[in-house]
Structure 1
Amino acid sequence: MLQSAIINSQQHVGLQKLSALAGMVHSSLGPDKKYKFIQDDTSGDSALVCSCFRIIENLEPTCAVGQLVYETVQAQQRVYHTGSGCLLFLAGAWSCAALDCLQRGISVTHIISAMSEGMDICSDVCRKSSISIQDLAVMLSERCSAAPGVCITPRVSCNLQETTKVNHKTLNIGGQRKVKLSRHFCETKSEIVSQALQPHPPGLPDIAHIAETLSHGCDKAMKLAVEAIQLQSDDNQQDGCYPVFDINKMVTCVLPGLPEQHACVVQGCIVLLSNEQASVAHHLKEQHLRVALISGDLSHTYRHLGFKMSAGVQSVGDQLNLARLSKEDEWLDKVVKLLLSLEVSLILTTGHACESLIQHCCKHHILVVEKVNSSILRTFANSTGVVPVTYATQLSKHCVGTGVQVAIWRDLSSFERKSLTAVRISTDRNAGLVTVILTSCIHGKLQALEDQFWACAYRLHHALKDRALLPGAGGTEMLCIHRLHKQVEYHREKDTGSVQHSGTADLYRSVVLRLMANGLIDYITTVMVNTGAFSKVKAWTVVSQRLQNLNGHQDIAARFPQLVLESDKEAPAAASAMKPDQKPAVKIYDNLSVKLETWRKALDLVFLVLQTDAEVITGVGQKNEENLMLL
């Protein structure tokens, strides 16, 4: 207790900053996205954003906690392209819970242990409440063919008696969660997700129906994702195989100046070229081209990451600049001769190409395409037999492939002040490569549209990869809150019923678990408020009523409340009086693996800041190391 008093006598600045940063993105949660302007007072530049990730990116936090938050959100966005708002909100809510615990005199060790138990509870709930997409597809097809107003409940794999029973044995089904704290927050495979995955039964799900439940308010973006997977399926048609959405074979191309309804999905890779390069593409169209792939910059100064300069070597002389120019000219001459000898007509590079080389190549009708995604480069390599090289001077006849075609897709000169031409690059083989064209007359909106599309695409990708989904619109969170409350009651009964046991640890656990549950409630109610159909007080009231219903009812329908979609005007009585021509509301579902990793990243972020604060305040030594969890 003395050590706890020392900790509590100081301010945990890190947790406070984490909570403050999370508070700035509350309005970006939920399906109803609101666009916001972020303006730099110094430069006057502004950005149009509508997601948590873009808000944090444009704020450019400079403090240590802010940088840690940015890296965490960036890692989440890079892997999943969705869930950043939920991650940061829960990190802020659970950091407030940790601060509350510290003020109550609970040690850092007890906080980490109890919150880890709470995460185990939530993970167990997700595993048991997951729904296979095969069962969901059957339910959705039945729902579409049923009469309007008929409510069909999804079939779940969990046993109701098993999920409502909470004791120490039940909580350890999946084993104790091993906490790994790292400022890089690398993706880890979830053992709970693998337990939920089972071989799919005969018959394939309707992708359009599954996608509709995962759109989360971005219907147009999800429609493009469905078109993309359908094109990939046409290219790689295999009867009886489970559908796969290969994200690595998809790329986006944004076209400013065109209305949003011109968005579409096209086979092949669409790239934008200048007039000079477009003239080369015109010359090469309808030809089978020899292609070279460069994984890096196409310039004489480029060196890969493993390259090391000799130490202590310096170039001294009055003709230094002339020497550099002569080296560049020598390199250009060597590369152009090599390309001509190998009869290369197309070069794809993941990096930049020097302007002088592009000009030389244009004179010889060689098309150079810069900044090609590395996954797209691999797709071309697999379909053409080309071996990518790091430097152009490494090219040989064994590294050059054939079977690539170039075609003019659209001339955009009439829509933009700059002269641009969209060119499609494709292979003779059906490689499943598709490009999603995103358009808007508002330049600042293009990035938000691209983010929304990738969020939908990755949700659909992970749904097909996991072959399981979770009840959405607050359903899974409600089940987790219900289980956390049950565990709080269990610890309280254990504390008061045992005479021999001191009960201190169980008392602390009940406090921490209750505060974790409050964080989930705060998340649900915030999303409800952001829909515009609830006040904060009304949202808390509705959630409290639903939690009471979960305690009193054992039917499956009561276990999956779609809170976010319901308002005062959409009470159960009104739903039963639905008009004959009115369609029932679409059920919302969430990704299993994405939600689990989002929650874990949020809790690991809290643990890292909590322990760092404690180390700064108390130091690390033999007297107090028992109160800290070693990294």
Structure 2
Amino acid sequence: MQGKNPKTRVVSKTLTGDSRNVTWLDDISVVLRELGVGAVLVHGSVSGEVREMCYARGIVVFDRVPYKVVQGVAESCLREPTVYVSEATQDNVVDDVIIRPWSCDWMDHLLTPVSYALVQPGISLVQTVMISHPCGNVGKMKEETFWHCAHRLNNMLVDGAVLPGGGATEQACVVMLRSSKSVGHVDDRNIFSSLVCQHVAMGLENFTQLVQRNSSLSVTDQSDHAASDIEGATIYDCLRAKQEGWRTAEYLVGVVMAADMEVVTGVDKNYVKAEGDVLGYL
């Protein structure tokens, strides 16, 4: 797409082919210099003359870039791609990013086709996170925890919605299930609906208590100072992660109900008569 306010460049038709080419190079050179361009993303190929001109002026050229990449950069930076460099405006330039070529010698671009560039954001952003621990396994666990939090934060931003955390969502479900009344017409399909709702409510209530204990939200186990800090804190849950957890639990219940077996959690001395009877426990 062209810019909103394209600049008109008139080239005389009486010029020769070489003169017209030089004038065109000077024309785009002026546009790039006026806009302060440090890098150019091109969907197609770039001629050798244009590449040499850009390199001489410290402009990094990325050619044969997939169109989806160009479109994605433009949309994420709220800019518009342009078809002709001579018609580029400030609406086609990404701000707050400084890109300049990097090389040890000016002959490097002639000896190797590989180009290197220095990218510097205009604002201070956290780009590197250092995690260290004397124990390597603990360091890996901390790294997994960091990426877990990063993915949760990304999902929250993508969804644009969160749920009350600390077991508040499950507690609301418990209240709704226990307050639900039995249907008026009872048949084979809903004869056990009331019983199922009550048992699901019991399971959610036990889960809520477990979450509160794990997140130190049980005020009875805390001091007055810690309890006051907890009351002022706000905890949210990721909507997508919560939905996936519910789907997994529903799938597990379906598997258990369809399986012709008894699932035992933990070891109960009343059922274990001999060591050979214990095959495995969840």
Q: Give TM-score, length-normalised by structure 1.
A: 0.22
Higher relative contact order (CA 8 A, sep 6+): 1
Bigger Rg, which one: 2
